[in-house]
Amino acid sequence: MDPFRIYEELRESLGEAAARSLAATLGSMFDELRETVTKDDLRSLRDAIDADLARVSGTLVSLADAQRRTDERVAELAEAQGRTEARIAELAEAQRRTDERVGELAEAQRRTDERVGELAEAQRRTDERVGELAVAQRRTDERVGELAEAQKRTEETLQRLSVRVDKVVGDCFEQKFRDRLPAYLGLFLRRARLVDIGELIDRIESRVTDSELTDLLRADAIASGVIGGEGFHLVIEASVTADAEDVIRAKRRAGVLEKAGLRVIPLVACEGAAEVTRRQARDADVRLWIDGVAADAA
């Protein structure tokens, strides 16, 4: 029975999936049927062989009994005894050679035992050495842990020093910008000067909230001057390296003066700024002053 032929005949009427499944099922059934028939045939053959062997066994018993009653059988047994004795002599010689070989093996085993003892002693010394190395490794691990902790403290100290240095550098840059305000902004802001904070508070206090005024007074510098013939105020954030926070603060604090009715421009002064900070300043309409030059002209 060919499962593929069944599949081909059923595919058009039943569909591909159903035809494949039915063909596989029928193929398995016919395979099992063939296997069953084969097992029955073998069982019958085995029964027939067993019956024949039983008959042959009975015949052999009868023949052996008759043979034992004849003188010819006695002669054959005597001859067989001679051969047996010769075979025994051969076996005795083989036993002697075997004994010699066993002696050799025993000596080899003794040497092996001695070697095993030597190896066991070497292993004991190795185990002792491994134990010593394990102790040394533990001490090394402890030392590495101590060094790691010391490194951590060193890094924390360096981080604090870095923060302090950054603050000192930032404060120096801020102070330099304030001291040299006209030199930095002279071409952009004519008659530039730092605003008197007391006068500024009196002027805008009634127009802004206390929190807004407090935030404004935290600006790094507030300047006034003339741009294009009109008076302006500048709210300035000064930083060695400008970032997004400087742009946000300048824009927010300038909004306080704008709320008070003053014309104001937010400005971030720095020595350097990443491209992303430049884009943020342009998008927020915040002037970026890099190393004394407007960012667009830098």
Residue 240 or residue 46, greater confidence: 240
Residue 282 or residue 59, greater confidence: 282
Residue 161 has pLDDT above 50, yes or no: no
Residue 72 dihedral angles phi and psi, to the nearest 5°: -60, -35
Rounded Cα distance, 247 and 280, in Å: 7
Chain centroid to CA 4: how far?
50
Domain locations in the chain? 3-62, 180-294
Out of 9-18, 107-116, 174-183, which region has the weakest mean confidence (pLDDT)? 174-183
| Bridging pattern class, strands 287-290 and 293-294 | antiparallel
pTM: 0.45
Quick check: 245 and 262 in contact, CB under 8 A?
Answer: no
Residue 136 has pLDDT above 70, yes or no: yes
> Which residues, other chains included, contact 193 with Cβ-Cβ below 8 Å and sequence gap of 6+?
181, 182, 223, 224, 225
Mean pLDDT, residues 104-118? 89
What is residue 184's predicted lDDT score, i.e. its pLDDT?
73
Residue 253 has pLDDT above 70, yes or no: yes
Model confidence at 164, pLDDT cuts 50, 70, 90, reads: very low
Rounded Cα distance, 179 and 199, in Å: 20
Residue 171 has pLDDT above 80, yes or no: no
Out of 41-50, 118-127, 203-212, 218-227, which region has the weakest mean confidence (pLDDT)? 41-50
What is residue 61's predicted lDDT score, i.e. its pLDDT?
57
180-294 CATH pick, 3.30.250, 3.40.1350, 3.40.50, 2.60.40 = 3.40.1350
Per DSSP, 292 falls in state T
> Which residues, other chains included, contact 100 with Cβ-Cβ below 8 Å and sequence gap of 6+?
none
Out of 69-73, 120-124, 262-266, which region has the weakest mean confidence (pLDDT)? 69-73
What is residue 297's predicted lDDT score, i.e. its pLDDT?
47
Quick check: 226 and 258 in contact, CB under 8 A?
Answer: no
Whole-number Cα distances in Å, 256 to 12, 77, 136, 177, 214? 85, 136, 68, 22, 10
SS3 273: strand
> Which residues, other chains included, contact 238 with Cβ-Cβ below 8 Å and sequence gap of 6+?
170, 173, 174, 177, 178, 220, 221, 268, 269, 270
Structure tokens at 82: 């001679």
Residue 75 has pLDDT above 50, yes or no: yes
Q: At what angle do helices 210-217 and 244-259 cross, to 10 degrees?
A: 130
Out of 26-30, 111-115, 154-158, 160-164, which region has the weakest mean confidence (pLDDT)? 160-164
Out of 57-66, 194-203, 223-232, which region has the weakest mean confidence (pLDDT)? 57-66
Rounded Cα distance, 159 and 233, in Å: 37
What is residue 25's predicted lDDT score, i.e. its pLDDT?
85
What is residue 32's predicted lDDT score, i.e. its pLDDT?
74
Residues listed for the chain: 298
Q: What angle do CA 102, 105, 109 make, to 5 degrees?
A: 135
What is residue 169's predicted lDDT score, i.e. its pLDDT?
45
Residue 197 has pLDDT above 50, yes or no: yes
Residue 259 has pLDDT above 90, yes or no: yes
Residues β-bridged to residue 59: none
> Which residues, other chains included, contact 298 with Cβ-Cβ below 8 Å and sequence gap of 6+?
290, 291
Residue 120 has pLDDT above 50, yes or no: yes
Mean pLDDT, residues 164-185? 64
3-state secondary structure 55-86: HHHHHHHHHHHHHHCCHHHHHHHHHHHHHHHH
| Closest to 288 measured CA to CA, from 237, 215, 216, 249 | 237
Task: Express as a percent the part of the chain with pLDDT over 90.
Answer: 30
